[in-house]
Every structure is written in C-alpha cells, then in structure tokens.
Amino acid sequence: MGKRVGMEVAVAVAEAVGLCNIDMAAVYPITPQSHIAEHLSDLVADGKIDAEFVTVESEHSAMSAVIGASGTGARSYTATSSQGLMYMHELLPIASAMRLPITMAIANRAVSGPLNILNDHSDIMPQRDSGWISIFVENGQEAIDMSIIAFKIAEHKDVMLPVNINIDGFQLTHMVEPFEMPTQEEVNQFLPPFIPHATLHPARPVTMGAFAMSDYFTEIMKAKDEAIKNSKKVILKVWDEWGRLFGRNYKPVETYKTDDADILLLTMGSMGETAQMAIDELRVKGTKAGLVKLRLWRPFPFDELKAVVKNTKKLIVTDRAVSFGGPGGPVFSEIKSALYAETQRPLIYNYIYGLGGRDVTVKDFTGMFEKVLADTGNQAADTYEFWGVRE
C-alpha cells in the first residue's frame, strides 16, 4: 500500500500526476489551480520527472500545446480553472473530436462577472457539451486517485477521449488532508504505456483535425457521441480494477443511506461530505433521508441514477451554477430529463447554492430537507430556488 501522508490537495494532485510518467505538461497558473502548476513545474525543474513543461502565455495556448503534444503520442496534462477554462473553451471540442486522451484538472471556481475567485461549478457547466469525460471528486484522496485513473480511462483503446477531473477550488485544492499516496511501483503496475491511435511523425505523415463539410459532419458527431457513451464500460472496469488494487471503490453514482429513504438529496463534488453529516442528523430525528452523489457527469450515468431514485418520493437536486432564464440549475434539468420517461419517479426540488464560494453548512442541507418536507401540497416541486438568497 501507498504511504500515508498529509499534504495540500493541489500539491498532492501534482505529485500524483508526477507518478504517471507524463511526457509533457502545459499548465498556465490561475487561482485556485496555481499550486498544481507550481508544484508540477518544480518536479520537472528539479529533475524528479522526465517530462517537458511547456511555459505558455495563456490557457488557450496551454490547451493548444497539449493537443499538439498528444497528437505526437506524448502523454499530456494540463490544469486550469474558471476564466482559464473559458479561454480554453473553443479548443475543448477539438481535442475530443481528434480523440486525444488529454487529462486536465479543473480547480472549479466561479466565472466572472463580477470577478470572484472562489468555488462553484459555473466554469465546468458551459463545457458540458465539449465531448470530454467529466468526473467530479469529493475529497483529496479522490482527487489523487482520479488524477491517476484518468490517464488509464482516457488512453484506453476503446475510449481515446480527453478527461477532466473537477476538484472544487479552495474547498478541496487548498485543504491539507491525510491520504494514501500510491507508490511509483503501484502506479507503474496500474498504468500501461500510452499507445496512441495515430501519431504525427514526419516519417509517417497523417493529417489530424482535417476539414469536413456537411457530407460528413453528421457522421462525425454521431461517432463522437457513441464513443463517449461507450466509454462508460471502460470507466466502470478501470474503477473496479483500482478498487481491487487500492481498496478504494468508485461508482458513477455514490449512495449514502438511500436503501429505505423516502427523501433524497443529490450533490456533486466536495459538498458530499457535509451533506452526509446532515443525513446523519436527520436520521437521528427519524427522517428517512439519504444522499446521492453524482461522480460521473459525462457520460451521464442514466441507469445508475434511475435505479437509485426509483423508490424515493422526493428528490432534492442541488446545483452550484445557474442556467439564466433556463429551466433551473444544469444538474436539475439533466436529472429531470433523465427521469422524464419513468413511470415511477420522485418529485424533484432544486436549490441553487454555494455560489461564488458562499459557505454551505450542515444546517443549510437540513434546512432544505425541512423546507421540502413542509411542502405537503407539492407546490415547490419541479421549480428552482436560490438557497439562502437575501430577499
């Protein structure tokens, strides 16, 4: 087993990536991701890992550099946050269309304006349809594990897609936590060498990212959609393998005390552990409450989610981003749509909370339960509300 260490999560993520035999990284620093950039560049500069650290002038260039490097067959890594991710946006669908298995950490942070450096999910939500596999982590250990696992998923011959790992900014990136850091030997055993589907090489010329007109564009989009849907099989297999090797098991939809629950709460990311404490409190008071944690955002785990919420009466979906003028938070609208055709489905309530780093406590979650349980006439079902907003 790996060594038990205490470390800041962002630094530990860089350490974990350093164990993955990367060939290159292009990481432009941005709060709260900066410690990943700094520590990874330290590892390269100190000669601890044999990789190229490309110092770029922007996130747009960082993503361009990893796309180019991945095209040559290099195991490539980047990390960003908020405005940096927005600046990368136009390149994200290109990386997935070219089926380049890049991995990227996102230290989730609110998108401007107004300028705000703290945590929510408004940076990743606009990237939803970029064709990337998207994973949300709950704690430091998971951030480390997923940073390693992501390479194996991305580079699997049946996947060949980029992966982003969402790590809540500050709430996770800047926490010092105790965790088990896998050893170099263990990672070597887990992670095979990267075998690209094609490479850019002068001796074996190919064209990547070529032009396509209306006669082919539809077929290309369909192929990409099938590719990401099919990736779920591999994701499950790789998570199982990780569980066998390291004893930490990951599932697309995680549950806590859901078996007999008639009211469920759904969270994504770091809020899961606080929400878990709220469930414990409610259980003591006799409320049959349970928690659902969505780990896999893309490909969306439809079957797993349906199975978990099937027998519950009310489901509280929490969102950390706003879809302005839309049907509710982005997670809420996806879940509503996922359950639309089900004959047996819960009433769904949506609270948008924790925006721009606003603290969320156990009391906030118990308050949500109380409010939903008090809605005996189901007046607030299928609507959304800004939790804790000053009226």
Partner 1 sequence: MTLKTWRELPIGCVVSEPGSASEYHTGSWRSQRPIWDNTKCIKCGICYVFCPEGCVQQGEDGFFMANMDYCKGCGICSHECWPRAIKMIEEG
Query: Least CB distance from residue 88 to partner 1, whole Å?
Result: 19
* Polymer length of the chain: 391
Residue number, 83 or 231, with CB nearest to partner 1:
231
Residue number, 157 or 390, with CB nearest to partner 1:
157
Contact status, residue 335 vs residue 266, Cβ threshold 8 Å: yes
Secondary structure letter of residue 193 according to DSSP: P
Residue number, 194 or 242, with CB nearest to partner 1:
194
- Picking from 150, 127, 159, the residue whose alpha carbon sits closest to that of residue 226 is 159
Query: Least CB distance from residue 160 to partner 1, whole Å?
Result: 6
Query: Least CB distance from residue 218 to partner 1, whole Å?
Result: 8
Secondary structure letter of residue 102 according to DSSP: -
**Chain positions contacting partner 1, by CB under 8 A:** 97-100, 160, 197-198, 205-208, 210, 212, 215-216, 218-220, 222-223, 226
Give the separation between CA 71 and CA 68, rounded to whole angstroms: 5
Query: Least CB distance from residue 230 to partner 1, whole Å?
Result: 12
Helix (H) / strand (E) element for 181: namely: strand 176-181
User: To which residue do tokens 């259980």 refer?
Assistant: 283
Helix (H) / strand (E) element for 165: namely: strand 163-168
- Residue 214: burial class (beta carbons within 10 Å; 0-12, 13-18, 19+): exposed
Residue number, 215 or 260, with CB nearest to partner 1:
215
DSSP string, 266-302: EE-TTHHHHHHHHHHHHHHTT--EEEEEE-EEES--H
Residue number, 100 or 124, with CB nearest to partner 1:
100
Residue number, 197 or 233, with CB nearest to partner 1:
197
Query: Least CB distance from residue 77 to partner 1, whole Å?
Result: 19
Contact status, residue 388 vs residue 364, Cβ threshold 8 Å: yes
Query: Least CB distance from residue 227 to partner 1, whole Å?
Result: 8
